[in-house]
C-alpha cells in the first residue's frame, strides 16, 4: 500500500493491534482521535516543539493537525489513510517543505527526507487488524546519514507514540465513543 508512494526507504516501523469492530468503524475512530486521547504523544511532542502545543490543538483531530503541519493526504479510503511530508525532520522546526500531494512521489531535491504514515484497517477473523506503518527516505546520501542518526535517537519515542496511538483508537472504538469528526465528513475517496 505504501509502495505506491515510497517503495524504497531508509528506515521504517510497523505496529498493529486487533480491534473488535468492522474496519470502517476502526478507521472512523482513527480519524476522530485527538492528541488528548494519546497523552504520550502530547508529552513527547511538547518536548520536541513546545511552541506548537496549544490548548486548541490537543482537542482537534490528529490528522487535521498533521495537515496544518505540512503533511498532505496521499490516499484517503474507507479503510486506509496515507499521509506524507517532505522535511528536514532532524531540525528542531522539522524543516517541513510545503508540497502538493501530486508532487510527493517525484520530489527529489537534495537535503530532505520524505516520510509517509499509513493507517489501514484489515478484516481479521471477527474483527479488524489495525496497522500503522511509517517509512522515511532521504533524497541524497547526506540526508540519509543525517536522518539515520536522528532516527537512532527518536525511534524509541516514535514507536511508543505509534503503539499508544493504536491503543487509543482501539479504546475509542471498543468503548463506542463518538467517531464523527470534521475530517470524516470532508473525506474524499
Q: State the Cα–Cα distance between residues 133 and 14, nearest whole angstrom.
A: 4
Query: In this predicted structure, what is the pLDDT of residue 51?
Result: 41
What's the average model confidence in pLDDT over 44-55? 50
| Residue 72, SS3 per DSSP | strand
Is residue 83 within 8 Å of 116, Cβ to Cβ? yes
Q: Which residue has the higher pLDDT, 123 or 189?
A: 123
| Residue 136, SS3 per DSSP | strand
| Counted domains in the chain | 1
Is residue 181 within 8 Å of 31, Cβ to Cβ? yes
Q: State the Cα–Cα distance between residues 164 and 140, nearest whole angstrom.
A: 32
Q: State the Cα–Cα distance between residues 61 and 34, nearest whole angstrom.
A: 4
Q: What percent of the chain has pLDDT over 90?
A: 66
Residue 133 lies in a domain: yes
- Beta partners for residue 121, in sequence order: 130
pLDDT above 70 (res 3): yes
- All cell numbers assigned to 89: 525532520
Q: State the Cα–Cα distance between residues 23 and 129, nearest whole angstrom.
A: 8
User: Who contacts 183 (Cβ-Cβ below 8 Å, separation ≥6)?
Assistant: 31, 32, 61, 63, 64
pTM exceeding 0.75: yes
- CA torsion through residues 45, 50, 55, 60, sign: negative
Residue 30 lies in a domain: yes
User: pLDDT class for 185, splitting at 50, 70, 90?
Assistant: very low
Residue 181 lies in a domain: no
Q: Which residue has the higher pLDDT, 41 or 31?
A: 31
User: pLDDT class for 34, splitting at 50, 70, 90?
Assistant: confident
Q: Which residue has the higher pLDDT, 157 or 141?
A: 141
pLDDT above 50 (res 188): no
What range defines the domain where residue 96 resides? Answer: 2-175
What's the average model confidence in pLDDT over 48-66? 64
Continuous segment of H or E residues that includes residue 42 = helix 39-48
Query: In this predicted structure, what is the pLDDT of residue 49?
Result: 53
Residue 25 lies in a domain: yes
Q: State the Cα–Cα distance between residues 82 and 2, nearest whole angstrom.
A: 8
Residue 167 lies in a domain: yes
| Residue 128, SS3 per DSSP | strand
Average pLDDT, the chain: 86
Query: In this predicted structure, what is the pLDDT of residue 57?
Result: 66
CATH number at residue 87: 3.30.530
Can you tell me which residue has the cell 527529489?
A: 108
Residue 163 lies in a domain: yes
pLDDT above 50 (res 181): no
Can you tell me which residue has the cell 537535503?
A: 111
- Closest of 33, 38, 60, 69 to residue 158, by C-alpha: 38
Amino acid at each position: 500500500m505504501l509502495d505506491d508512494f515510497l517503495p524504497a526507504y531508509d528506515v521504517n516501523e510497523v505496529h498493529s493491534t486487533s480491534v473488535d469492530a468492522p474496519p470502517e468503524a476502526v478507521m472512523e475512530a482513527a480519524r476522530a482521535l485527538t492528541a488528548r486521547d494519546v497523552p504520550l504523544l502530547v508529552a513527547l511532542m511538547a518536548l520536541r516543539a513546545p511552541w506548537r502545543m496549544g490548548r486548541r490543538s490537543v482537542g482537534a483531530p490528529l490528522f487535521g493537525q498533521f495537515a496544518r503541519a505540512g503533511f498532505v493526504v496521499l490516499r484517503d479510503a474507507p479503510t486506509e489513510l496515507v499521509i506524507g511530508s517532505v522535511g528536514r525532520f532532524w531540525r528542531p522546526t522539522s524543516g517541513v517543505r510545503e508540497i502538493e500531494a501530486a508532487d510527493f512521489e517525484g520530489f527529489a531535491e537534495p537535503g530532505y527526507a520524505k516520510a509517509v504514515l499509513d493507517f489501514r484497517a484489515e478484516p481479521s477473523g471477527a474483527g479488524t487488524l489495525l496497522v500503522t506503518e511509517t517509512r522515511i527516505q532521504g533524497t541524497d546520501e547526506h540526508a540519509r546519514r543525517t536522518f539515520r542518526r536522528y532516527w537512532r535517537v527518536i525511534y524509541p519515542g516514535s514507536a511508543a507514540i505509534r503503539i499508544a496511538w493504536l491503543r487509543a483508537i482501539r479504546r475509542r472504538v471498543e468503548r463506542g465513543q463518538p467517531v464523527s469528526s470534521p475530517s470524516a465528513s470532508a473525506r474524499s475517496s
